[in-house]
Amino acid sequence: MKKILLSAFALCATMMATAQNQAADPHAGHDHAKPAVAKTEEVIKIEAVHDFGKIPQGKPVTYDFVVTNISKEPIKISNVQASCGCTTPSWDRDNAIAPGTTSKINVGYNAAAEGPFSKNITLTYGDNQSKIITIKGEVFKTPAASAPETKAAEIKE
């Protein structure tokens, strides 16, 4: 008798949980096609990530990201925002990129801290579109003093 009551209780609990899930989502268990979300057409092409590899601490490095306009209309880059102050982007703020042509975004990184790094830069362009590019690498600590001098051995004849 206990097995029957336990089974009945488990069945009721399962049915109640299923009913609550369906009440929360009226389409649960139904195969309704979801409306298509309008996808924004890509209008620029740019390398997504640049790896500097190993760089010395305290020595700034730069890289030029090449932006290609793959649309049929001129595209203007309205803003380029780095995720931190150690990363400095610069670009042609005044001119739009003509269809089929390229422009450059120069990104500088001041390697002050030792260890691996990954920094995001957000580009805002065109009709309020955005794209994130990334620089990464690893900073190694430079020696505090220069290498000791090598003394030449005396040559005896």
At residue 127, the pLDDT reads: 84
At residue 111, the pLDDT reads: 87
Give Cα separations from 103 to 71, 83, 88, 142 (angstroms): 14, 22, 17, 34
Encode pLDDT of 37-94 as tens digits: 455 688 999 999 999 999 999 999 999 999 999 999 999 999 999 999 999 999 999 9
In the chain the domains, ranked by start, together with CATH numbers, are 44-140 (2.60.40.10)
CA 147 to chain centre: 39
CA 114 to chain centre: 21
In single-letter form, the type of residue at position 32 comes to: H
Q: pLDDT class for 28, splitting at 50, 70, 90?
A: very low
Q: Show the CA angle centred on residue 63, arms to residues 59 and 67, nearest 5°.
A: 165
At residue 29, the pLDDT reads: 47
Residues of the chain with pLDDT > 90: what percent? 57
Where on the phi/psi map is residue 48: left (φ > 0), alpha (ψ -120 to 50), or beta?
A: alpha
Round to whole Å and give the CA distance between 6 and 139. 63
What's the mean per-residue pLDDT of the chain? Answer: 80
Does this model's pTM top 0.75? My answer is: no
